[in-house]
Amino acid sequence: MAPPPSAGAAADAAFRVERSTRASRIFMASGIVALIVLATLPYWAGSGTTRLVAEMAYYLALAQFWNLLAGYAGLVSVGQQAFVGLGGYALFVLCSAYGFHPYAGIAAAGVFAALMALPIAFFVFRLRGAHFAVGTWVVAEACQLTISQFKSVGAGSGYSLTPAIVRMVAPDRAGRDMIFYWLSLAIAIAALALVYGLLRSRVGLALTAIRDSEPASRSIGVDSFRAKLMTFVVVAFCTGLTGGLIFLQKLRISPQAGFSLQDWTVVVIFMVVIGGIGTIEGPIIGLLIYFVLRELLADYGTWYLIVMGLVAVLFMLYARDGIWGWVNSRFRLQLFPVGRRFVRTTERDSGPPRD
Amino acid sequence: MEWLSIVVQGCLLGGLYALFAIGLSLIFGIMRLVNIAHGDLITLAAFVALIAADWLGLYPLATLIIVIPVMFALGYALQRGVLNRTLGESILPPLLVTFGMSIVIQNALLEIFGADTRRLVVGSLETASIALPGGLYVGVFPLVIFLVAVGVIAALQLLFYRTDLGRAFRATSDDAVTVELMGADNRHLYGLAMAIALTVTAIAGVFLAVRTNFDPSIGPSRLIYAFEAVIIGGLGNMWGTLIGAVILGIAQSIGAAIKPDLQILAGHVAFLIVLGLRPNGLFPRTRD
């Protein structure tokens, strides 16, 4: 059988598949500079700034994880606080009762959250779409209420890490602040690297396909259930790990703080929606906007939440892809190149090279 | 006999939960929208009742004549102005818009009314009870709520199966595109559906305000009870929703009898058991 005529023309022109863009290469270089500046921050900035940037760092991680779940795998969870709380409690119990070193406790917190994600998935994966969202919320509430029943972990009022455990991290407060800062920064960078690496992999291709159209992705052989389950468990692991780190910094955990919908899910969702859901760059922008708003409106009670909520609603109504979506559609900018572009390498054909 | 009493109380509590759940069930049935702000709209209705009772000096249950029209109008405006824009292929916009609305309503109520717990007092009706044979006592007010819930469902069934509007609702639920081709205005229909849902929410809010203490933060847990009742009962089935609400009420009542702080958890456990055994609920009618 003769090849169709267009195939011959395509063979004459040589194509190359490119992943990085000029913007992404510039960004990568400036990112390394920024990283050096951030890594040395505790040495030249005040302790207040250091603590704020540490908080931003772990929120960036949480935002990336939620975005991976909701923006790519289509699993809109309103119950990620379950994994933050479970991770936090796992760390506290393992360090207090089983003599774990806090660093080992952080790792174990992730493992524990991932193990719990399996039975949780058994229930919530039976629910579709928006019902899945509320289902995850119910599970988080159930976790909070269950932990409140255990007197050994302080029941409803919570409990603290003993000074002996805290001193295992560093003997004084200034030293601990530095270590917590670097751990938070490390988790943020690891989150970016993980999401970036995952999205460039085979699984990432499946997830991106599911994001764009689940029925279409299934018709070309993507095992969407498997990809979703895997993402759910991986995100649970990472969120639990982050939860362990967060509560190691806070030194005290209670069911209300550990499983706070507002702290661990609401603000994270607002960040991702405003910045741009389904992109790696979006949550970074949303994070910056959230912290600027929070600092500006710090004296006005919960107004920053009302403002963030309204802004998020307006974005969902009028600019679904968020700020980064707008930037991307206008300037075709990709700082974390996860797609593939065809670049024509021969000059023979007329017309400019196209993406 | 004590256990029988617990079950009866739980059953009546289910009446209130059914009122929470009907609006949610209705909206999902007609336009496949899960309104995350549903619980906060119930709280909003309770605060509207509070204002009506305070400013106009109305008897708490008489505030319904104010709260119902307010919520009906709000529902229509909300659907036409905001929510119709979110309907489409993707589940993200409706979910995240109603989620954002939930946070905005909750915190706006907190800013306006503060975090104090409130209650509407109806005097003797609250404590009145009927003695049944066998030493069983049933509160008159919980019984009234239960009967109102049954009445509301019966009225909605009549609306759905006996009127032109009901036929239009069922038709859009089955195939929204074809109904538009037949000349129906879906945006208007959805507006009316949300208005009717918020009418039920208004009734739920007023009864909530009389029966229990409330404050701006209670919305999310009302949404969760409503959701659990809908899923236990099966999607698209109003009577199923009532049974789901009753099961949830009985589970919570039994939990509370074992230990007061087990009430809510027992409800969640009952929900998860049903979800584990029957993913589509007990009496499903539509598939999502």
A78: distance to nearest CA of chain B, Å?
Answer: 9
Query: Domain tally for chain A?
Result: 1
Q: Do the domain assignments include residue A276?
A: no
pLDDT at A2 over 50: no
User: Is B125 at the interface with chain A, CB within 8 A?
Assistant: no
Q: Helices in A170-302 by DSSP H: which ranges?
A: 173-200, 202-212, 214-219, 224-250, 255-258, 261, 267-275, 281-296
The contacts of residue A170 (CB under 8 Å, 6+ apart) are A176, A178, A179
A215, closest residue in chain B (CA to CA): B89
Mean of the pLDDT values across residues B121-133? 82
pTM of the predicted model, to two decimals? 0.89
User: Is A313 at the interface with chain B, CB within 8 A?
Assistant: yes
Least confident of A7-21, B73-87, B164-178, B187-201: A7-21
What is the reported pLDDT for A214? 81
Q: Do the domain assignments include residue A23?
A: no
Residues of A in Cβ contact (< 8 Å) with B91: 74, 76, 129-130
User: Which residue type sits at B274?
Assistant: V
Confidence of residue A347 (pLDDT cuts 50, 70, 90): low
Note whether A87 and A267 are within 8 A (CB): no
Which one of B93, B111, B268 has the shortest CB-CB distance to A320?
B93
Q: What is the C-alpha separation between B243 and B234, in angstroms, rounded?
A: 10
Residues of B in Cβ contact (< 8 Å) with A306: 103-104, 107-108, 111
User: Is B223 at the interface with chain A, CB within 8 A?
Assistant: yes
Residues of A in Cβ contact (< 8 Å) with B96: 76, 269, 273, 312-313, 316
Q: Write out pLDDT tens, residues A218-273.
A: 888 888 888 899 999 999 999 999 999 999 999 999 999 999 999 999 999 999 99
Q: Provide the Cα torsion A290, A283, A131, B225; round to 10°.
A: -20
Contact B261 A156 (CB under 8 A): yes
Least confident of A11-15, B45-49, B130-134, B224-228: A11-15
Q: Which residue has the higher pLDDT, B216 or A16?
A: B216
CA end-to-end span of chain A: 32
Contact B288 A131 (CB under 8 A): yes
Nearest to A121 by CA among A41, A233, A5: A233
Q: What is the C-alpha separation between A311 and A294, in angstroms, rounded?
A: 13
Least confident of A3-7, A263-267, B60-64: A3-7
Residues of A in Cβ contact (< 8 Å) with B110: 301-302
Domain housing A128: 45-260
Mean of the pLDDT values across residues A157-167? 87
Q: What is the C-alpha separation between A195 and A183, in angstroms, rounded?
A: 18
pLDDT at B127 over 90: no
Q: Write out pLDDT tens, residues A292-320.
A: 988 898 888 788 889 989 999 999 999 88
Share of chain A above pLDDT 90, in %: 50
Contact A142 B91 (CB under 8 A): no
Confidence of residue A12 (pLDDT cuts 50, 70, 90): low
Least confident of A174-188, B46-60, B129-143: B129-143
Interface of B with A in 34-73 (CB under 8 A): 34, 36
Contact B91 A309 (CB under 8 A): no
Which one of B91, B96, B107 has the shortest CB-CB distance to A269?
B96
What is the reported pLDDT for A71? 87
What is the reported pLDDT for A204? 84
What is the reported pLDDT for B286? 63
Confidence of residue A6 (pLDDT cuts 50, 70, 90): very low
Q: How high does pLDDT run on average in chain A?
A: 87
Q: What is the C-alpha separation between A319 and A179, in angstroms, rounded?
A: 40
Class of domain B2-115+138-277: mainly alpha
Residues of A in Cβ contact (< 8 Å) with B101: 309, 313
pLDDT at B187 over 50: yes
Note whether B243 and B249 are within 8 A (CB): no
Note whether A221 and A114 are within 8 A (CB): no
Residues of B in Cβ contact (< 8 Å) with A129: 34, 91, 95, 288
pLDDT at B1 over 70: no
Radius of gyration of chain A (CA): 22
**Residue B134 tokens, joined:** 């066998």
CB crowding A232-268: b at 16 or more within 10 Å, else e: bbbbbbbbbbbbbbbbbbeeebbbebbbbbbbbbbbb
**Residue B36 tokens, joined:** 């995350």
Least confident of A324-338, B44-58, B157-171, B194-208: A324-338
pLDDT at A352 over 70: no
DSSP state letters, A73-132: S----S-THHHHHHHHHHHHHHHHHS---HHHHHHHHHHHHHHHHHHHHHHHTTS-HHHH
Q: Do the domain assignments include residue A167?
A: yes
Least confident of A43-47, A227-231, B16-20: A43-47
Q: What is the C-alpha separation between A68 and B225, in angstroms, rounded?
A: 29
Note whether A229 and A118 are within 8 A (CB): no
Which one of B224, B265, B275 has the shortest CB-CB distance to A137?
B224
Q: Do the domain assignments include residue A339?
A: no
Which one of A126, A313, A320 has the shortest CB-CB distance to B279?
A126
Q: Write out pLDDT tens, residues B82-99.
A: 999 998 878 889 999 999
Confidence of residue A13 (pLDDT cuts 50, 70, 90): low
Confidence of residue A82 (pLDDT cuts 50, 70, 90): very high
Note whether A246 and A58 are within 8 A (CB): yes
Contact A316 B36 (CB under 8 A): no
Can you tell me the ipTM of this complex?
0.90
What is the reported pLDDT for A121? 95
Q: What is the C-alpha separation between B136 and B138, in angstroms, rounded?
A: 7
Place of tokens 């119930």: B42
**Residue B42 tokens, joined:** 């119930």
Q: What is the C-alpha separation between A192 and A65, in angstroms, rounded?
A: 9
Note whether A322 and A282 are within 8 A (CB): yes
Note whether B279 and B271 are within 8 A (CB): no
Q: Do the domain assignments include residue A124?
A: yes
Q: How far is CA A2 from the centre of its chain?
A: 50
